[in-house]
């Protein structure tokens, strides 16, 4: 059994990114994994200000909801980033979460994690996800983490709060989650 932390970087509780992440989580839970699904849109998380206090004290001095997420991060075996594509990148919520992980580094060493990337966007363009995908792979390489898979779901159009993905993308996320057991 794995401990899985799913970080959902969308402000829309019932949006496409949430439902894609929930499909992954449902698949992972079916195999007996412990899954923590965190909606960053419901959290107050500030960006890193590069004060460097964390490198002296080994904890972040910004008092916000990120303080509660550090323990979940440290305990997890698998870290899942679920993000809508905003201006050809990860959402600022996911980026703030990643930046704030700097506080737990010791000489730039991080605990080993396996990772997953789940993304949604309105475009069906073949290159729409190029930039965040490159960042995700670079992050894994730099931190010596291992990617377990990626689900990229383009073509999300329609009214806000309604599911607009092809059912196959939900199935793909579910199957990926199911492989975590």
Encode pLDDT of 111-128 as tens digits: 899 999 999 999 988 899
What is this structure's pTM?
Answer: 0.95
Write the pLDDT tens digit of every residue in 11-50.
888 899 999 999 999 999 999 999 999 999 999 999 999 9
Residue 173 lies in a domain: yes
Residue 122 lies in a domain: yes
Residue 61 lies in a domain: yes
Distance (Å, whole) CA 128 – CA 7: 21
Band of residue 107 on the pLDDT scale cut at 50, 70, 90: low
Band of residue 162 on the pLDDT scale cut at 50, 70, 90: low
List the beta bridge partners of residue 118.
82, 151
Residue 63 lies in a domain: yes
- CATH code of the domain containing 91: 3.40.50.360
Residue 92 lies in a domain: yes
Q: For residues 110 and 104, is the Cβ–Cβ distance under 8 A?
A: yes
Residue 77 lies in a domain: yes
Q: State the residue for tokens 């809508």.
A: 84
pLDDT at residue 163 above 70?
no
* Nearest in space to 37 (alpha carbons), one of 27, 51, 45: 27
Query: Which residues form the domain of 96?
Result: 3-128+140-178
Residue 133 lies in a domain: no
Residue 68 lies in a domain: yes
Question: How many distinct structural domains can be found in the chain?
Answer: 1
């Amino acid at each position: 059994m794995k401990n899985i932390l799913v970080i959902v970087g969308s402000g829309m509780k019932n949006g496409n990114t949430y439902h894609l992440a929930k499909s992954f989580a449902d698949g992972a839970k079916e195999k007996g994994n412990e899954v923590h699904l965190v909606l960053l849109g419901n959290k107050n998380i500030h960006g890193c200000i590069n004060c460097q206090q964390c490198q002296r004290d080994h904890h972040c001095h910004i008092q916000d909801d990120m303080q509660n997420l550090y323990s979940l991060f440290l305990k997890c075996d698998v870290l899942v980033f679920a993000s809508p594509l905003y201006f050809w990148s990860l959402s600022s919520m996911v980026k703030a979460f990643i930046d704030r992980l700097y506080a737990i580094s010791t000489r730039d060493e991080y605990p080993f994690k396996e990772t997953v990337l789940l993304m949604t966007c309105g475009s069906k363009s073949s290159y729409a996800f190029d930039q965040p995908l490159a960042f995700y792979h670079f992050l894994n390489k730099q931190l010596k983490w291992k990617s377990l898979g990626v689900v990229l779901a383009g073509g999300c159009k329609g009214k806000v709060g309604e599911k607009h993905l092809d059912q196959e993308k939900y199935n793909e996320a579910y199957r990926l989650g199911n492989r975590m057991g």
